């Protein structure tokens, strides 16, 4: 089972009539630099899933937040609210599905 969604899969589903229901971005600081990871909740899946690289090898992070927003707004046509959170923000607890998937990724 895929751990997330790749851009190609999202584009294909959008062309087939799907849409993104919700989007949130989590910002992590890695080696002093901010990296942004989008989690999307598409109409064809129930949970929030991270954007992943080709072959579902790793999370697709962006150092440039503007590039990520262009992808979400212009390429994917998402016009709704985009929550922007820092990694570890207590407000993320409300996204229980996201929390469960994060915990699963942390286990060996």
Q: Can you tell me the distance from the alpha carbon of 17 to that of 71, in angstroms, rounded to the nearest whole number?
A: 18
How is residue 95 written in tokens?
């996204």
Determine phi and psi for 14, rounding to 5 degrees: -65, -40
How is residue 81 written in tokens?
């609210």
Q: How much is the pTM?
A: 0.84
Domain count, the chain: 1
- Domain that residue 82 falls in: 5-106
Summarised one tens digit per residue, pLDDT across range 42-83 is 999 989 999 999 888 999 999 999 999 999 999 999 999 999
Helix, strand, coil shares of the chain, percent, nearest 5, are 35, 30, 30
How is residue 8 written in tokens?
């190609």
């Amino acid at each position: 089972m895929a751990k997330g969604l790749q851009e190609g899969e999202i584009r294909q589903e959008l062309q087939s009539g799907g849409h993104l229901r919700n989007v949130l971005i989590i910002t992590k600081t890695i080696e002093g630099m901010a990296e942004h990871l989008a989690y999307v909740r598409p109409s064809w899946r129930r949970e929030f899933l991270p954007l992943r690289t080709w072959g579902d090898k790793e999370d697709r992070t962006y150092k440039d937040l503007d590039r990520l927003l262009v992808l979400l707004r212009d390429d994917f046509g998402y016009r709704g609210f985009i929550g922007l959170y820092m990694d570890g923000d207590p407000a993320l607890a409300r996204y229980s599905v996201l929390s469960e998937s994060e915990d699963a990724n942390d286990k060996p």
